[in-house]
Structure 1
Amino acid sequence: MGLAFTSCSKDSDSDETATTTPDEINDFVWKAMNSWYYWHSNVANLSDSKIASTNNYANFINGKTPDALFYSLLYQRGTVDRFSWIENNNEVVNVSKIAEVKKSGGFSYGIYPKDLNNVNLVALINYVVPDSPAALAGLKRGDVITKVNGAQLTSNNYNQLENTQVTLTLAASVGFGISSLVTTDKSGTVTVAQTDIDENPVAYYEKKVYGSKNIGYLVFNGFKSDYNDELNAAFAKMKSDGINELVLDLRYNGGGSLETAVALAQMINGSFTTKPYVYLDFNNKHNSEDGFENLSDKVRVFNLVDNEPTFQRDESINSLALTKIYVLVSFQTASASELTIQCLKKYINVITIGDETVGKFVGSNTLYDSPTSNYTSFANRSTKHQWQLQPITFTYFNKDKDVNPAKITPDHDINPYDTFLNLVEFGNVKDPCLKKALELITGQTLRTKTQNADASSSFRNNNLASFNPTNAAKGLYIEDFKSFGK
């Protein structure tokens, strides 16, 4: 952070007025937030009156680190605003576009309390990216992590799972006691080092046939605009397979590109071209950005050039013409995934199965130190520092502008702890959520060797505060093409 020197002379004979210079980085933080932050009118310290006096303004913003200033400006942080963040990245990338190569070990996980104290935790591996370090280390979907770097996983150290290199201890067995998960550890450990990964979010597709029902099961793990063509190709495959029922698995999808979300709706149905799909609402300084995003019969295809999504061409959208879909959800389902449910159900029947979602009905833009372009230009940013902001800049509504719920409560609830004993490879009907979807579609009871936690267990029914570290913010924002010159 730059230094600012203040004249401290108290010479009564001096006619000079002391002037304090605003810190350069903090000036960027405050002014970018003043312009774009969705709740700026609710935050007294973001009022335009703050800059009426240069001295008072400088004294207010100086003396804080950029992150301390940023978080002090959030509106009811942790309750109303749970998702804004700031970062100082030594290799700044344009994170406003969820279409990038990023450092990862290649495994997605959810964090669960191990007991009633919510201190000791375990991590359940949702899936492993093919050919990633995690895959090469032998990790697989359904593995349970009990220790990180030799220590019991807790609320104080679970963030170490995101270290550039991490040593994991896995459970050999998992059971349910009266008030806790009971685990025994495997001997030995697994070490995973991060590498550059451009994860394909179109993770799995399978056709299942039950009589006249051609059921497509599609696992979609991120709304990434550089994979729009792969998503469109998956729907072309389903179309050629004669799919007439769809189970869309969004349990591990934290959001991403708004453009991809709009295209997905068209791929599912396709009968409402040019109709309004989602309404975006910005703060009163950016009312010109407010408006509808309409359904289109085209999807834009991007490739990464220097880790930046670059437009290549338009493709005609492949549509299944479905009037009903089944969506699998979890406490990790957020943002553009929730948008898909809330907005699509205005046009077709959307049946949700699983656990309550995150409740993130807001989006953001990345803001850079580029005041001449209203802090939105990555190319014109200052290179004197690496600070960049990811504040909430808009909220969204369905086409009728209905008030969003706190979270999406599924139509058919599946206790998340039931997955511990049954989370095998994608497509296996032991998966309780997939099993329920198939039963709803077919009207049949599928007999599997599914294991459930004791229904009378106080642990299972206590609705413990299961949480996931990625739910804190990163990866859970909607990419907004509209305000970046679509």
Structure 2
Amino acid sequence: MRIKHCFTLTISSSACLLLFGCGGGGSESSSITPVAPTPQADERWTRGLFEDASLYKDRCVAPRSGVSEITGEMYTDTAGDSMDEKLWLRSWTNTTYLWYNEVDDNDPADFSILSYFNQLKTDFRTDSGSFKDNFHFSQSTQEYLTRTQTSTSFGYGVSWEFVQATAPRRIIVRYTEPGSPAEQAGFARGDELIALNDIDFINTENSDEIDMINEILFPSNAGRETQFTLRKTSGEQLDYQLSAQSVAISPVHNAKVISTENAEIGYLQFNSHIQSAQSQLISAFELFDQSRIHALVLDMRYNGGGLLALASQLAYMITGAGQTDGLTFNKLTFNNKHPNINPVTGGQVQPTLFYSREIDYDRNVFTSTSLPSLGLARVYILTSASTCSASEALINGLRGIDIDVVLMGDTTCGKPYGFYPTDNCGTTYFTIQFQGSNQKGFGEYADGFIPTPSPLFEADVQGCLVEDDFNHALGNVNEGMLSAALNHLQTGECPVQTAAKSPIMRLSANDSLKIQTSSSILDAIILENAINQPIRDPND
């Protein structure tokens, strides 16, 4: 059961001034204790009354000016106050949030801007007891655009498996980005972090040292050199000197063809549905097509999602026109205020089909170039609790047209929902605005897709529970999940082993879930998020 705990602590103090006054010509005296004035509620907020969000959009405490260095667009911010920003969040939530009628209309004056946003969500739970909305978050617009539009992030180029956040802490290297400081230094999958500089990463309870650990692991400035002490899978302990820098994100790794006795098998590690993945996926599928592979193993165990349109393109490349023409990949359902009109774009709600052409994501239009396709009727997908959002939409979309999807790994994160990341005053907000469903109308997998040899329920998927194997490199035929998939292709049997276990902690939505002290509560949300942008045909 995945449980999310959220706490807001508000501490207030007031000073009481006691005045002593002395009367003249006698022994009488008096003291006056004035009553502190009652704080005045902001008259712009009235419980249950919601004005149009546009009245408060871009009215900012700290308005930006000039042109965005990433998008090239002029900022439209004007001077405002914190109540303007909170009232925009309130009205925007009431209009677009999928579960708007499950949100308490609390007085914005009682919160900071971010703490107010954090409580603008449902606290209802799924049948399993997990919170229905585990995906409510915000991040700096600059950070969001840098990652999604320039395909870069700031750091060391290492993806960590956060196994235990509290002492004794444990994080392990999943993989490194090509050409990154971590790769160049020699970080390898399975390496475990022991110390940072002279700080005992595993055991320290010192708050200053924990703050320093967070600053190092999630850096915001370049220049500082840090000594990372890692325990290698061999047991050897080594020191590495690294400095954070801007790192290019490569969403596709290890695209290759594996030769077996019976067939050629394609393998692809796919980490994120971002724009730059399109060209890398096309190159991989051209390789698979030329090699005439008979089966595909798609490794999405660390893929937290991203662009829904890209997931649709990938589904087409797996299957081809004959199995997808005219069929729905994903249909969006918004809240009951908007049965037919998309409340974010203002357009008619239409299903996302299986996209067969390349997309110019900068202009948001289809090109005339057709995508390669394999015409497969079965695909093996490697999964974990970090397989989320657009990745799950891919699984659901393929199952909706009766493609045989076989899962190897662990239960996926459970996010049949998505949102349109929206900027206001330099912060990009992510709040659930729609639920997706496939050609068959199925979209109820809030507790994840479960790999099992004997599916019983709709969210059960044919497959095997397999533990993540950190003793072998990803793409190595002896790595646990890939080996299980290759064996299942031959025999239809699952490996004999203990059931896979989800990590205690997952990465946060902006790569900055912080290391905790032992008294802290984890507040985990998932890295990427399925978003749906309507794609136009330039000939229309």
What range is the shorter-chain TM-score in? 0.7 to 0.9
Aligned position for 2:410: 355
Moved over 6 A (4+): 483-486
Describe the shift of the 1:93–1:129 C-alpha distance in structure 2 as closer, same or farther (beyond 3 A).
closer
Which amino acid in 1 is paired with 2:411? E
Whether 1:398 and 2:438 are equivalent positions in the alignment is yes
Cα distance in 1 between the residues matched to 2:475 and 2:379: 17
Q: How far apart in 2 are the matches of 1:194 and 1:25?
A: 33
CA distance in 2 between counterparts of 1:462 and 1:311 reads 41
The total of aligned residue pairs comes to: 410
CA separation in 1, counterparts of 2:353 and 2:500? 42
Distance 1:154 1:98 in 2: 38
2:184 matched to which residue of 1?
Answer: 136
In the alignment, which residue of structure 2 is the partner of 1:100?
151
Shift in Å at residue 355 of structure 1?
1.3
Corresponding position of 2:531: 479
Number of the residue aligned with 2:448: 407
User: Which residue of 341, 354, 359 corresponds with 1:295?
Assistant: 354
Alignment of 1:247-258 (within 5 A): 247-258=297-308
Q: Are 1:261 and 1:336, in contact at CA under 8 Å, matched by a contact in 2?
A: yes
Tell me which of 406, 419, 423 is aligned to 1:364.
Answer: 419
Match of 1:162 among 218, 224, 247: 218
Aligned to 1:36: 96
1: distance between equivalents of 2:444 and 2:328?
17
Greater RCO, 1 or 2 (C-alpha within 8 Å, sep 6+): 1
Distance change >3 Å, CA 254–CA 88, structure 1 → 2: closer
- Report 1:223-234 matches (<5 A): 223-234=273-284
Matches within 5 A, 1:441-456: 441-443=489-491
Q: Return closer, same or farther for 1:293/1:462 CA change in 2, 3 Å cut-off.
A: closer
1:65 paired with 2:112, answer yes
Q: Residue 359 of structure 1: CA displacement?
A: 1.1
Shift of 1:403: 4.3
- Work out the CA distance in 1 between the residues paired with 2:285 and 2:406: 20
Distance in 2 separating the partners of 1:226 and 1:110 = 24
Distance apart, 1:137 and its partner CA: 1.8
Contact map agreement 2:416 2:443 (CA 8 A) in 1: no
For 1:389, the aligned partner's letter is Y
Per mean C-alpha deviation after superposition, the further-off stretch among 216-225 and 145-154 is 145-154
CA offsets, 1:210-246, max 9 Å, x none?
A: 2341100111111112331221221111101111110
Residues 121 and 146 of structure 1 are in contact (CA less than 8 Å); yes or no, is this contact kept in structure 2? Answer: no
Deviates more, 1:77-86 or 1:123-132: 77-86
Contact map agreement 1:327 1:352 (CA 8 A) in 2? yes
Equivalent residue, structure 1, for 2:137: 85
Work out which of the two has the higher radius of gyration on C-alpha atoms and give 1 or 2. Answer: 2
Identity percentage over the alignment?
23
2:475 to 421, 427, 432: 427
Unaligned stretches of 5+ in structure 2?
A: 1-39, 46-82, 125-129, 343-348, 453-462, 510-523
How far has the Cα of 1:279 moved from its partner?
A: 1.3
Q: How does 1:44-443 map to 2 (within 5 A)?
A: 44-45=104-105, 60-76=107-123, 79-88=131-140, 91=142, 93-94=144-145, 100-113=151-164, 119-148=167-196, 150-153=199-202, 161-164=217-220, 167-173=227-233, 186-187=237-238, 189-270=239-320, 271=322, 272-287=324-339, 288-289=341-342, 290-302=349-361, 313-347=367-401, 348-369=403-424, 385-405=425-445, 406-411=447-452, 412-416=463-467, 419-420=469-470, 422-424=471-473, 426-443=474-491
SS in 2 for 1:469: coil
Q: CA deviation at 1:315?
A: 2.3
- TM-score, with normalisation over the residues of structure 1? 0.75
Aligned partner of 2:277: which letter? Answer: Y
Amino acid across the alignment from 1:232: I
C-alpha separation in 2, matches of 1:173 and 1:339: 35
Structure 1: which amino acid aligns with 2:439?
Answer: K
Q: Quote how far apart the aligned CAs of 1:263 are.
A: 0.5
CA contact (8 A) 1:67 1:87 kept: no
Partner-residue secondary structure (3-state), 1:45: coil
The runs of 5 or more residues in structure 1 that have no matched partner are 1-16, 47-59, 175-183, 304-308, 370-384
1:307-352 C-alpha deviation (Å, 9 max, x unpaired): xx77683420100000111111112111111111122122210100
Q: Give the deviation of 1:27 after TM superposition.
A: 1.9
Please tell me the residue identity of whatever aligns with 1:257.
L
Secondary structure at the counterpart of residue 25 of structure 1: helix
- What residue identity is the alignment partner of 2:285? F
User: Aligned equivalents of 1:237 and 1:321: distance in 2?
Assistant: 14
1:92–1:386 Cα contact (<8 Å) kept: no
Q: Structure 2 counterpart of 1:275, which letter?
A: L
Distance 2:443 2:194 in 1: 40
Could you tell me whether the CA contact under 8 Å between 2:319 and 2:377 is conserved in 1? yes
Tell me how far apart the structure 1 counterparts of residues 316 and 500 of structure 2 sit (CA, whole Å).
Answer: 40
Q: Which residue identity lines up with residue 387 of structure 1 in the other structure? A: T
- Deviation (angstroms), 1:441: 1.7
Q: What amino acid does structure 2 have at the position aligned with 1:296? A: Y
- Structure 2 CA distance for partners of 1:314 and 1:462, relative to 1, 3 Å: closer
SS in 1 for 2:255: strand
Counterpart AA for 2:271: N
- Partners of 2:183 and 2:384 lie apart in 1 by 23
The one-letter code sitting in structure 2 at the alignment partner of 1:393 is: Q
Deviation at 1:121, TM superposition (A): 2.8
Q: Distance in 2 between matches of 1:256 and 1:330?
A: 16
- Could you state the TM-score of these two structures normalised by the residue count of structure 2? 0.68
* 8 Å CA contact retained: 1:98, 1:257: no
